[in-house]
Structure 1
Amino acid sequence: MSGPISPGLRSGSLPVLVALMTMLAGLALAGLTGIQALAESWNTAAQSSATIEIPTDADHAQSRTDHLLKTLHETPGVTDTKLLTPEKVRSLLAPWLGETDDKAGKPPALSLPTVLIVRHEHGIDLEAVVHALFPEAIIEEDMRWSIRLQRLGRSLVGCAWLAVSLIAAVAVLSVGITVRRSVSAQRRAVEIIHAIGATDRQISGKIARRAAGLSLLGGIMGLGALAPILMFLARLLAPFQDQNAQPPPPADTLAAWSATLSVLPHSLLEMLASLPFLAALLGWLTAQSVVLVWLRRLP
């Protein structure tokens, strides 16, 4: 097969298309990772804490509250108990309730309860323990929200996976259309080399290898363009991931930007690194399928 009549994939737009799809897939995977982490934190928080409201106007409220606190500390499975006095609750709700003029001797306009925040393990009947000592107490078991939060988390993760799947489908469709147009433009060259004995596999294999190379190049380009965006987002989200962690150093050097990658989960970095190779594989499979189908339809 001579150079002038050798058909191949001649499309300068394919790397650009793959680069854009790689960027979209990378952003979708980053969102998927964040949603999964958020859903896990929701589920963990909802399964391990409860809020108890104790009315302060009940009979012997202070002594009964102290007895309840002692009982909760001795209850197996209760890991932590935090007491919020009515004064503390009032200070927390001051932006909504307004400041009280205690110095003037005026009584508060609203009687606020004592609040207990109890962290516990799964399987404890906390309501029975509390109501046995303080029937007037109101318990808001966060575990009741666990199922709803799990469903919400699963739905968000499902939406993220759907977005990734749609991006992959659009990428395959774009590569297929590009390959088909390129091959159709070289119909005469294909007919000539068919006439001199070239098989369909040989033709499709050459075009598929070219498509894989261009897709790999586009994937690397897209990953390179995506890296600064992910680093910028990682710097913004770093304080939310660990409140006790030190803030990232100023982004004035390349090493500072590279250090920001430590904030990103390793699973996300592995998925992002695999995107160019997945793009090359999709490009090869798509080109093979499109060219073989197109060749079999030739007269």
Structure 2
Amino acid sequence: MANLPHPPADFLGLRTALSDRLLPLLVGAMAFLAALGIAGAEASASLAAHWQQDAAAALTIQVPDPQAQDAGNDATRLAAVLGALKTVPAAMNVAQLSPAAVNQLLSPWLGTDPADLGLPLPAVITAHWAGAGGVGALRAALQKLSPGTLVDTGALWTGRVAALTTSLQACAAAVLIIVALIGAAVVSVATHAGLAQRRETIVIVHELGAFDGDIASLIARRILRLTVTGALTGTALALPVLAWLARLAAPFAAPSLSTALLGLPAPLWAALPALPVLAAFIGWGTAQLTVRGWLRTLP
């Protein structure tokens, strides 16, 4: 009969004291939450970068009293502005909003038909700004042709999106720190429970001359296996959820994100494997500190 490999001897009874059920389950749940936190931070950064680029390039021109004569009495104010925009290479996709579209934009504040109020409504022109610099020169030129013309860019919204992104990333970082601290606490509690269950055996081994480091390493290796197993399981279970969330966010994402593997960006694929490594570090380090501190309390 062939000799079958035997599992390593469990002198301290750690397989019984440190169960392979509860601790991996808790660590897996925390790894799942950490994966969602990392994905949220990465998604907010990617989407914000995409939206900031679009918002910064958006150009809105408002021409008050559009049918009045321009400054040179050559044409209407609206025609002068449209003609000037056509000569600016950086102003692309120039289009005038129809009066119905302007009414629809103003209706939440001025009612279903703002024209009924007798207020002079400006003409609204939209464009895409492809210039490398700002729109100061364009604003000055349009003011000469049609005094009072307003030129707005998406700079204000770009700043707000950047602030929102920063706050979301800070929240995600806080979630990861909290998850790591809770993970360390869970490992510490589990280690203390195992030490209490095998106290007599550990005390005898310790009194026979076993070093604190040797005992701590035996227990830390057991904790290491349990935490890595739980973290791998939790990370794997997070993948289909992340893929589903990526599909929901695809219409708002850049094309490079929507065509990525499972819809997940490359930085996220690089970060997810770090979760089991981080869990191993937390499990090993917490177990070592807990066991060494407990051993120092022995008489």
Query: Into which bin does the TM-score normalised by the smaller protein fall?
Result: 0.7 to 0.9
Deviation at 1:64, TM superposition (A): 3.8
Please, which runs of 5 or more residues in structure 1 have no aligned partner?
A: 101-105, 247-258
Q: Tell me if the contact between 1:235 and 1:260 (Cα under 8 Å) persists in the aligned partners.
A: no
Secondary structure of the structure 2 residue equivalent to 1:198: coil
Aligned to 1:227: 239
Counterpart amino acid of residue 287 in structure 2: A
Q: Deviations over 1:152-211 (max 9, x none)?
A: 321221111111111111111111111121112211111111122210111111111111
Q: TM-score, normalising length from structure 1? A: 0.80
Deviation at 1:93, TM superposition (A): 4.1
Cα distance in 2 for partners of 1:63, 1:57 equals 7
Moved more, 260-269 or 279-288: 260-269
Aligned to 1:123: 134
Deviation at 1:73, TM superposition (A): 4.4
Aligned to 1:43: 52
CA separation of 1:235 and 1:43: change in aligned 2, threshold 3 A: closer
Deviation at 1:139, TM superposition (A): 2.8
Identity %: 30
Aligned to 1:251: none
Secondary structure of the structure 1 residue equivalent to 2:272: helix
Alignment of 1:63-74 (within 5 A): 63-74=76-87
Aligned to 1:271: 271
Q: Deviations over 1:254-280 (max 9, x none)?
A: xxxxx9843111111221222122212
Cα distance in 1 for partners of 2:251, 2:229 equals 35
CA separation of 1:216 and 1:225: change in aligned 2, threshold 3 A: same
Q: Tell me if the contact between 2:104 and 2:112 (Cα under 8 Å) persists in the aligned partners.
A: no
Counterpart amino acid of residue 84 in structure 2: T
Deviation at 1:234, TM superposition (A): 2.1
Aligned to 1:206: 218
Report whether the alignment pairs 1:6 with 2:15.
no
Please, which runs of 5 or more residues in structure 2 have no aligned partner?
A: 1-7
Q: Tell me if the contact between 1:7 and 1:190 (Cα under 8 Å) persists in the aligned partners.
A: no
How many residues matched?
Answer: 280
Deviation at 1:128, TM superposition (A): 2.2
Aligned to 1:20: 29
Q: Tell me if the contact between 2:97 and 2:126 (Cα under 8 Å) persists in the aligned partners.
A: no
Cα distance in 2 for partners of 1:99, 1:135 equals 27
Cα distance in 1 for partners of 2:257, 2:36 equals 25
Secondary structure of the structure 2 residue equivalent to 1:53: strand
Q: Tell me if the contact between 2:48 and 2:162 (Cα under 8 Å) persists in the aligned partners.
A: yes
Q: Tell me if the contact between 1:89 and 1:112 (Cα under 8 Å) persists in the aligned partners.
A: no
Secondary structure of the structure 2 residue equivalent to 1:131: helix
Moved more, 276-285 or 144-153: 144-153
CA separation of 1:192 and 1:122: change in aligned 2, threshold 3 A: farther
Alignment of 1:242-253 (within 5 A): none
